[in-house]
């Protein structure tokens, strides 16, 4: 269980604003192990999507660029290989499930055509073979009467069903790693539950790893084995799932947990508290010298501001980027 | 705003501004009388006293060119303004209210666009008679459907915006919604269309005047000057060059402006 | 029964249908998107309206504020039927009911400044002069916690959460009695969502505004709502006090909604019994005879395929439209005056039959 499949090493990415380049990801390191579901958590602007896109080499070429670090996958550095090779990796070994299911399918082609194209491109199957595989895949992702739906167009499918089709496309070439970028954000909670079940089951059946990007700690609690939390372009905490929820080590993680909507237990009678984080995330280019979360942190001390805070490895095997990591005792879920 | 700062935009704005200024200041500039003929000195080549030479009646071509700018620019601008006002109004109403009114307006627009525009203008001038005002009307008439199309399309695209619903919820009357929410949001594509149309309107005026249907002598526009000069093409070919260049430059500038604005909108 | 004060909003038998014309003449499809819905909101209270996309919850709200036309029913606002008003009377009545939309990126006109956005209701209703409107806007910015310096910015310069606060400031500027919030936080980041919810709570306390809070996520609704109504395919399937409905959901659909909200604790989340619905929401254009939920219901019975369940009170102030909770199949269902008090032939649902566990 501890083989490394993909490891990102001190990845830095910058984006162009006018004529200057501003850092959007700063020295982010993370590892995806074989067979695990790793949650990458953060709010908009935290750099989580940019990190994913750099793995796939899908950054908008003229506006965002990798400016340091490496992404190691099977003895290759994905930031340095040729575009042709990267294309090959993208189709065969690493697949992506996008955020907006209904916007990610071409409305002009049938679902069967789109799925078949992926299969034929990467596996050199005949038309008939591709069709067979497509039916099998749609069946695997829980689309009822799959054979009959190959000739349907995307608009015949609901959002949840589109997401299933996209998952089928991602699975088409038996990837080792699936990157799911907010796969359920655009969906109803009821459908979210179905899709998360599906992702979890498929990953287990096929032994694939999943990098699940989300801003919802509820989704993380449901699906992930390990979590990486990003804030303002930096990784601020990295831990196994249970310890993270029991005892978050970074104040930002703790606030995110507190802010996550949940059903109140029947025995809770006190008025609800709406935990939120005051202020807003700093924009790239306006990061201070010290802790980037400091202006919004309830535990802020002057010493947090004078120097770059390092991501500190803790004895329990997790990591946190907090000056006061050893003297804070942050509350997690009571369990 | 970056697209609007590129050199082509600066240059075309500069050229058009210069032309407009010359047109406005024509009476106070040290120019020869554009209407005063001197038959002894007709069809002269450029010289120190007549920088661009003289025409058939011995009138100063430079002076006539500058006075013609007034008419050419006014006719083009006037036609575009009239077409824009009428087209934007009809298009907005058709797009916003939809239904029967929209079907009728759209049908007429489509039928209308099937006619060759210049022939239509010739027919109108033939019916109404020549003259500057009629020329403006005829050219405006051929542009109305274009503005209807652009305005209607833009309104239909924005009608579903949530801010329109939000305005209805606060009780805003329809005219308020059209004036405050619809028109400001469709202004951009309409202005682009106007810049592109201005170039074409200038060409249309030139064509009509060249055919002798537009501006009435002794007043001159670039087009009518071109028409007159065509009679003398073997004796003084330069006479055709000047208005030709003026028209080309002006249309080119309008088109550059329109394209730049269109790019800006897409960005 | 004590007579409570007149409700702020009283919706009776509201129905909305959409007709889609086909290219083939004569083939028009009419779908009943909202079917005979009753809702009541009292002063200073919040009603949560919950359901999946396509359940008709947004259409209900739009019919209340007359953005879509109702086919039948009454919408009484402070006793006056909004649906019967026209012209000036309607305009005047609109002052007391406002709406906050889901997407703060498209609900503010991009060509207007923040001041113009917030002051627009005042301008439209010709309240005050320019100077007094500017003062009002600054005051409203304070109330929603935005710096006064934002007054001259354009919407594109604000973040999603800030825009949503502008939308709320705009909604409360006419001192309405009722504000309908259609998914007010689902487009926002988690850390901002709660701030908006807190603000709504504060406004309810300080202004006595009643809210209708629409969401697909019960967790977002239950913290703020006093009452909850659950919609499925255009009908209300369960309704009652928020505490009662969320703590002990009865209708199989409500139970599925409750259990679909992930609990942010891996050990709790992975060990609890969940009802995972299969399939997609029912299509209003293609309603089955009988119960609308029959196609996805884990407890479906033969009677559900033919008889439409009626919304009936179970004695705790909660109403459920489900055959599971009706007296054993009787041709005429009991009138509402006789509540089930547990002693009657009410079939209780065993929790362990509740669908798929993990």
What pTM, to 2 d.p., does this model score? Answer: 0.83
Is C101 in CB contact (< 8 Å) with chain B? yes
Rounded Cα gap, residues A167 and C135, in angstroms: 53
Q: CA C190: distance to chain centroid?
A: 21
Whether C350 shows a pLDDT value over 60: the answer reads: no
Digit-coded pLDDT (tens) for C191-229? 888 889 999 999 999 999 999 999 988 888 888 899 999
What is the mean predicted confidence (pLDDT) over B57-85? 89
Q: Which residue has the higher pLDDT, A101 or C110?
A: C110
CA proximity to A229, closest of A206, A260, A251: A251
Q: What are phi and psi of B52, to 5 degrees?
A: -110, 10
pLDDT value of residue B214: 77
Report the gap between the CA of C79 and the closest CA in chain A (Å). 31
pLDDT in tens, A41-58: 998 889 999 999 999 888
Residue B124 CA to residue B136 CA, distance in Å, equals 11
- Contact list in B for residue C95 (CB cut-off 8 A) is 171
For residue B218, whether the previous peptide bond is cis, meaning omega lies within 30 degrees of 0, is yes
Would you say A105 and A166 are in contact if contact means Cβ atoms under 8 Å apart? Answer: yes
What is the C-alpha separation between B193 and B191, in angstroms, rounded? 5
- Choose the mutation target among C262, C272, C276, C295 for the interface with A, i.e. most A CBs under 10 Å: C262
Contact call for C170 and B170, based on CB within 8 A? yes
Within a 10 A sphere around the Cβ of C147, how many other Cβ atoms? Answer: 10
Q: Do A276 and C194 touch (CB under 8 A)?
A: yes
DSSP H/E element including C11: strand C9-20
Task: Enumerate the residues of chain C whose CB falls inside 8 A of the CB of residue B172.
Answer: 120, 124
3-state secondary structure of C308: coil
pLDDT for the residue B144: 93
According to DSSP, residue B179 is labeled I
Q: Which residues contact A255 (CB under 8 A, 6 or more apart)?
A: A275, A276, A277, C191
**Beta carbons of A189 and C257 less than 8 Å apart:** yes
Comparing CB atoms, the residue among C91, C108, C109 nearest residue B171 is C91
Q: Which residues pair with A320 in a beta bridge?
A: A237, A312
- Count the helices and strands in chain A (H runs, E runs): 10, 12
Report pLDDT digits (tens) over C314-342.
Answer: 888 899 999 998 765 444 444 444 333 33
Residues of chain C in contact with residue A224, where contact means CB-CB under 8 angstroms, are 266
- Separation in Å, CA of B149 to nearest CA in chain C: 22
CA dihedral of A315, A321, A327, A332, whole degrees rounded to 10: -80
**What pLDDT score does C328 carry?**
54
Tokens 């209780």 correspond to C348
Going by pLDDT thresholds of 50, 70 and 90, the confidence category of residue C26 is low
What is the per-residue pLDDT for C347?
35
- Would you call C270 helix, strand, or coil by DSSP? helix
CATH top class, domain B54-266 = mainly alpha
Q: Pick the more confident residue, A19 or C183.
A: C183
Write down the pLDDT at residue C23: 65
Residue whose C-alpha is closest to residue B163's, from C68, C67, C108, C161: C108
Per-residue pLDDT at C346: 35
Q: Are residues C99 and B184, on separate chains, in Cβ contact within 8 Å?
A: no
Q: Yes or no: say if A279 and C215 are a contact pair by the CB < 8 Å rule.
A: no
A249-276 mean pLDDT: 83
Q: Which residues of A are less than 8 Å from C223 in CB distance?
A: 261, 264, 272, 274
ipTM: 0.85
* A189 → closest Cβ in C217, C223, C268: C217
Q: Which residue has the tokens 């089709």?
A: A165
Element (H, E) at A70: strand A64-73
Q: What is the pLDDT of residues B220-264, one digit of tens each?
A: 888 888 888 888 888 888 888 888 999 999 999 998 888 888 777
> Average pLDDT in the A163-174 region?
88
- Contact present, B4 and B252 (Cβ < 8 Å): no
Match 């459907």 to its residue by tokens: B145
3-state SS, residue B219? coil
Task: Note whether A64 and A12 are within 8 A (CB).
Answer: no
Which chain B residue has the Cα nearest residue C95? B170
- pLDDT score at B43: 73
**Residues in CB range of C19: below 8 A, 6 or more apart:** C28, C29, C30
For B196, the 3-state DSSP assignment is helix
Q: Are C39 and C11 in contact (CB under 8 A)?
A: yes
**Local confidence band at C351 (pLDDT 50, 70, 90 cut-offs):** very low
> Which class for B126: exposed (0-12), middle (13-18), buried (19 or more C-beta within 10 A)?
exposed
Chain-chain contact of B170 with C94 (C-beta, under 8 angstroms): yes
What distances in angstroms separate CA B61 from CA B16, B35, B76, one per listed residue?
20, 10, 21
For the cut 80, the answer to whether the pLDDT of residue A11 exceeds it is yes
Helix, strand or coil for residue C190? Answer: helix
Quote the pLDDT of residue C337. 40
Looking up tokens 């080309």 gives B248
**What are the tokens at C278?**
């299969």
The answer, for B160 touching chain C at a CB cutoff of 8 Å, is no
The alpha helices in chain C, defined as continuous H runs, are 57-64, 87-94, 114-124, 130-143, 160-172, 190-207, 218-222, 242-247, 252-260, 266-271
Please tell me which residue, C20 or A198, carries the higher pLDDT value: A198
Q: Which has the closest alpha carbon to A167: A206, A128, A225?
A: A206
For tokens 């897409």, name the residue: B266
Chain C residues in contact with A159 by the CB 8 A cut-off are 53
What whole-number distance in Å separates Cα of residue A324 and Cα of residue A322?
Answer: 5
What are the pLDDT digits (tens) for C131-176? 999 999 999 999 998 999 999 999 999 988 899 999 999 999 999 9
CA–CA separation, B188 and A159 (whole Å): 34
Kindly report the backbone phi and psi dihedral angles of residue A220, in degrees, each rounded to the nearest multiple of 5, phi listed first. Answer: -60, -45
pLDDT digits (tens, 9 = 90+) for B213-232: 877 777 788 888 888 888 88
- Rounded Cα–Cα distance for residues C220 and C217 (Å): 6
Percent of chain A with pLDDT over 70: 98
User: Measured between alpha carbons, how far apart are the two ends of chain C, in Å?
Assistant: 45
Which strands sit side by side in the sheet containing A76-77, from one edge to the other?
A20-33, A4-17, A64-73, A76-77
- What is the CB-side half-sphere exposure of residue A53 using CA atoms within 13 A? 19
Q: Which residue has the tokens 């000056």?
A: A323
The mean predicted confidence, pLDDT, of chain A is 88
Is B162 in CB contact (< 8 Å) with chain C?
A: yes
Mean pLDDT of A287-306: 90
B·C CB contacts under 8 A: 63
How does residue C354 score in pLDDT terms, banded at 50, 70 and 90?
very low
Q: How far apart are CA A102 and CA A187, in angstroms?
A: 10
Residue of B nearest to C65 (CA): B169
Q: Which of A146, A185, A148 is nearest to A163 (CA)?
A: A185
pLDDT at C355: 38
Q: How far is A301 from chain C (nearest CA, A)?
A: 22
Q: Which residues, in sequence order, are CB contacts of A108 under 8 Å at separation 6+?
A: none
| Eight-class DSSP state of B178 | I
pLDDT of residue C214: 94
Q: Which of C274, C251, C266, C256 is nearest to C324 (CA)?
A: C251
Q: In this prediction, what percent of chain A has a pLDDT beyond 90?
A: 41
Q: Which among A158, A193, A255 has the least Cβ separation from residue C260? A: A193
Residue of B nearest to C167 (CA): B166
Residue from C59, C82, C85, C120 to probe the interface with B (highest B Cβ count within 10 Å) = C120
Does residue C234 have a pLDDT over 80?
A: yes
**Average pLDDT, stretch A4-19?**
91
CB atoms closer than 10 angstroms to residue A14: 22
Residues A183-198 have pLDDT tens digits of 988 888 888 888 899 9
For residue C358, what pLDDT band results from cuts at 50, 70 and 90?
Answer: very low
CB nearest A218 (choices: C52, C201, C262): C262
Q: Which strand ranges, in their side-by-side order, compose the sheet holding C319-320? A: C97-100, C178-182, C210-215, C46-50, C227-232, C235-241, C319-320, C312-313
**Partner-chain residue, chosen from A190, A257, A264, that has the shortest CB–CB distance to C257:** A190
Subunits next to B (3 or more Cβ pairs <8 Å) are C
Looking at beta carbons, which pairs linking C19-24 to residues 24 or more positions away fall under 8 Å?
C20/C285
Query: Which of A221, A233, A231 lies closest to A297, judged by CA?
Result: A231
DSSP track, A217-244? HHHHHHH-SEEEEEETTEEEEEEEHHHH
Q: Where are the domains of chain B?
A: 54-266
Q: Which residues pair with A32 in a beta bridge?
A: A6
Structure tokens, A190: 């009821």
Q: Side by side, which strands form the sheet with C29-41?
A: C29-41, C9-20, C72-77, C80-81
Give the residue with greater pLDDT, C281 vs B125. Answer: B125
Cα four-point dihedral sign C76, C77, C82, C85 = positive
Match 């487009």 to its residue by tokens: C187
H or E segment to which residue C29 belongs: strand C29-41
Please, which pLDDT band fits residue B180 given cuts at 50, 70 and 90? very high
CB C114 within 8 A of CB C133: no
DSSP H or E run through A146 = helix A146-149
| Rounded distance between C-alpha atoms, residue B6 and residue C218, angstroms | 53
Residues 6+ apart with CB under 8 A from A139: A146
Measured between its terminal Cα atoms, the distance across chain A in Å is: 26
- A197, A220, A277 member nearest C276 (Cβ): A197
C218 contacts: CB under 8 Å, gap ≥ 6: A189, A263, C48, C50, C228, C246, C257, C258, C261
What confidence tens digit (pLDDT) does each residue in B104-157 have?
999 999 998 888 888 889 998 889 888 888 999 999 999 999 999 999 999 999
Name which of B165, B167, B185 is nearest C120 (Cβ-Cβ). B167
């Amino acid at each position: 269980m501890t083989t490394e499949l993909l490891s990102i090493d001190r990845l830095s990415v910058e984006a162009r604003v006018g004529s200057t380049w501003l850092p959007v990801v700063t020295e982010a390191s993370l590892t995806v192990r074989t067979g695990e579901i790793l949650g990458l958590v953060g709010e908009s602007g935290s750099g989580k999507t940019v990190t994913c896109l750099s793995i796939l080499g899908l950054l908008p070429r003229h506006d965002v660029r990798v400016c340091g670090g490496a992404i190691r996958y099977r003895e290759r550095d994905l930031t340095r290989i040729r575009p042709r090779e990267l294309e090959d990796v993208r189709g065969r070994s690493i697949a992506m499930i996008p955020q907006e299911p209904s916007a990610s399918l071409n409305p002009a082609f049938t679902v069967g055509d789109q799925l078949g194209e992926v299969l034929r491109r990467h596996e050199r199957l005949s038309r008939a073979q591709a069709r067979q595989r497509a039916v099998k895949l749609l069946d695997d992702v829980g689309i009822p009467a799959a054979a009959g739906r190959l000739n349907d167009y995307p608009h015949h499918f609901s959002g949840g069903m589109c997401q299933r089709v996209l998952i089928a496309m991602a699975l088409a070439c038996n990837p080792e790693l699936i990157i799911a970028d907010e796969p359920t954000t655009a969906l109803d909670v009821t459908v979210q539950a179905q899709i998360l079940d599906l992702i979890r089951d498929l990953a287990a059946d096929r032994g694939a790893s999943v990098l699940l990007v989300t801003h919802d700690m509820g989704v993380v609690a449901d699906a992930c084995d390990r979590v990486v939390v990003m804030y303002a372009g930096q990784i601020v905490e990295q831990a196994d799932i249970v310890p993270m929820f029991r005892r978050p080590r970074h104040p930002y993680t703790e606030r995110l947990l507190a802010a996550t909507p949940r059903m109140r237990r029947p025995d809770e009678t006190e008025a609800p508290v709406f935990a939120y984080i005051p202020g807003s995330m700093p924009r790239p280019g306006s990061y201070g010298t010290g802790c980037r979360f400091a202006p919004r942190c309830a535990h802020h001390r002057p010493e947090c501001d004078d120097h770059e805070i390092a991501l500190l490895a803790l004895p329990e095997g997790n990591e946190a980027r907090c000056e006061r990591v050893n003297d804070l005792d942050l509350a997690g879920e009571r369990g | 705003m970056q697209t609007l700062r590129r050199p082509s935009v600066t240059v075309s704005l500069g050229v058009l501004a210069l032309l407009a200024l010359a047109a406005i200041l024509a009476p106070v500039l040290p120019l020869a009388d554009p209407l005063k003929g001197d038959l002894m000195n007709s069809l002269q080549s450029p010289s120190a006293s007549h920088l661009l030479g003289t025409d058939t009646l011995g009138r100063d071509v430079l002076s006539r060119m500058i006075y013609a700018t007034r008419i050419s620019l006014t006719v083009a601008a006037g036609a575009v303004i009239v077409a824009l006002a009428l087209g934007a109004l009809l298009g907005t109403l058709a797009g916003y209210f939809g239904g029967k009114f929209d079907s009728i307006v759209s049908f007429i627009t489509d039928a209308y666009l099937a006619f060759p525009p210049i022939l239509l203008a010739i027919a109108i001038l033939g019916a109404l008679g020549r003259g500057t005002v009629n020329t403006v009307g005829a050219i405006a008439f051929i542009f109305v459907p274009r503005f209807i199309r652009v305005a209607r399309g833009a309104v239909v695209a924005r009608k579903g915006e949530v801010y329109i619903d939000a305005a209805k919820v606060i009780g805003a009357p329809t005219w308020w919604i059209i004036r405050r929410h619809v028109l400001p949001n469709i202004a951009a594509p309409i202005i682009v269309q106007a810049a592109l149309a201005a170039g074409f309107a200038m060409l249309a005026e030139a064509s009509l005047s060249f055919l002798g249907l537009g501006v009435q002598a002794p007043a001159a526009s670039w087009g009518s000057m071109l028409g007159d000069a065509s009679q003398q093409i073997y004796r003084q070919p330069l006479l055709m060059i000047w208005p030709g260049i003026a028209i080309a430059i002006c249309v080119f500038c309008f088109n550059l402006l329109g394209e730049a604005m269109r790019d800006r909108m897409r960005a | 029964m004590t007579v409570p004060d007149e409700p702020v909003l009283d919706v009776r038998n509201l129905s909305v249908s959409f007709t889609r014309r086909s290219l083939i003449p004569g083939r028009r499809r009419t779908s009943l998107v909202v079917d005979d819905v009753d809702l009541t909101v009292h002063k200073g209270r919040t009603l949560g309206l919950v359901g999946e996309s396509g359940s008709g919850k947004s259409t209900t709200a739009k019919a209340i504020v007359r953005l879509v036309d109702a086919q039948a029913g009454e919408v009484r606002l402070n006793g006056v039927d909004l649906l019967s008003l026209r012209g000036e009377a309607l305009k005047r009545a609109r002052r007391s009911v406002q709406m906050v939309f889901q997407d703060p990126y498209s609900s503010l006109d991009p060509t207007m400044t923040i001041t113009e956005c917030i002051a627009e209701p005042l301008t439209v209703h010709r309240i005050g002069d320019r100077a007094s409107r500017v003062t009002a806007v600054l005051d409203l910015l304070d109330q929603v916690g935005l710096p006064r310096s934002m007054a001259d910015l354009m919407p594109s310069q604000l973040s999603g959460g800030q825009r949503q606060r502008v939308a709320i400031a705009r909604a409360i500027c006419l001192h309405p009695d009722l504000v309908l919030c259609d998914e007010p936080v689902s487009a926002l980041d988690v850390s901002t969502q709660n701030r908006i919810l807190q603000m709504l709570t504060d406004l309810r306390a300080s202004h006595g505004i009643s809210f209708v809070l629409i969401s697909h996520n019960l967790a977002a609704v239950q913290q703020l709502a006093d009452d909850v109504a659950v919609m499925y395919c255009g009908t209300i399937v369960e309704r009652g006090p928020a505490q009662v409905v969320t703590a002990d959901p009865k209708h199989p659909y409500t139970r599925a909604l409750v259990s679909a909200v992930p609990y942010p604790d891996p050990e709790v989340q992975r060990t609890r019994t969940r009802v995972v619905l299969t399939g997609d929401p029912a299509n209003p254009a293609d309603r089955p005879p009988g119960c609308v939920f029959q196609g996805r219901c884990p407890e479906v019975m033969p009677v559900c395929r033919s008889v439409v369940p009626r919304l009936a009170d179970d004695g705790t102030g909660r109403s459920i439209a489900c055959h599971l909770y009706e007296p054993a199949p009787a041709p005429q269902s009991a009138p509402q005056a006789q509540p089930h008090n547990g002693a009657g032939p009410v079939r209780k649902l065993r929790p362990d039959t509740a669908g798929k566990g993990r």
